[in-house]
């Protein structure tokens, strides 16, 4: 079960309820839930608003920030951080 299904069911909503509020079809919601399609970023944010939850929790792969090891702050790489305060 993907996150959209989980949070939709927790909110006691049907695919129809979300589709109606977004102005899309139930079939499209079904495709999002099954992974056969992904919503546009604006639609993902709207779904999160409807379900009253952070969009990152519903669509983590869509909102994930890929940070290369070389770009991570020193504190996250367990390197010494020198402060001159």
Q: Is 20 exposed, middle or buried (0-12, 13-18, 19+ CB in 10 A)?
A: middle
Look at residue 61 in the predicted model and tell me its pLDDT: 86
Look at residue 69 in the predicted model and tell me its pLDDT: 47
Tokens 């999160």, residue located: 48
Task: Say which residues have a Cβ less than 8 Å from residue 47's Cβ, sequence separation at least 6.
Answer: 4, 18, 22, 32, 39, 55, 58
> Which domains are assigned to the chain?
3-64 (1.10.260.40)
DSSP structural state of residue 10: H
Check: pTM over 0.75? Answer yes or no: no
Mean pLDDT by groups of 10 residues along the chain of 85 residues = 90 98 97 94 96 93 66 50 55
């Amino acid at each position: 079960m993907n996150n959209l299904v989980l949070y939709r069911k927790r909110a006691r909503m049907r695919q129809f309820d979300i589709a109606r509020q977004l102005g899309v079809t139930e079939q499209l919601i079904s495709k999002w839930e099954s992974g056969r399609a992904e919503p546009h970023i604006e639609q993902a944010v709207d779904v999160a608003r409807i379900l009253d939850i952070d969009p990152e929790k519903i669509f983590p792969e869509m909102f994930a920030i890929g940070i290369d090891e070389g770009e991570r702050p020193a504190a996250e790489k367990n390197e010494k951080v020198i402060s001159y305060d």
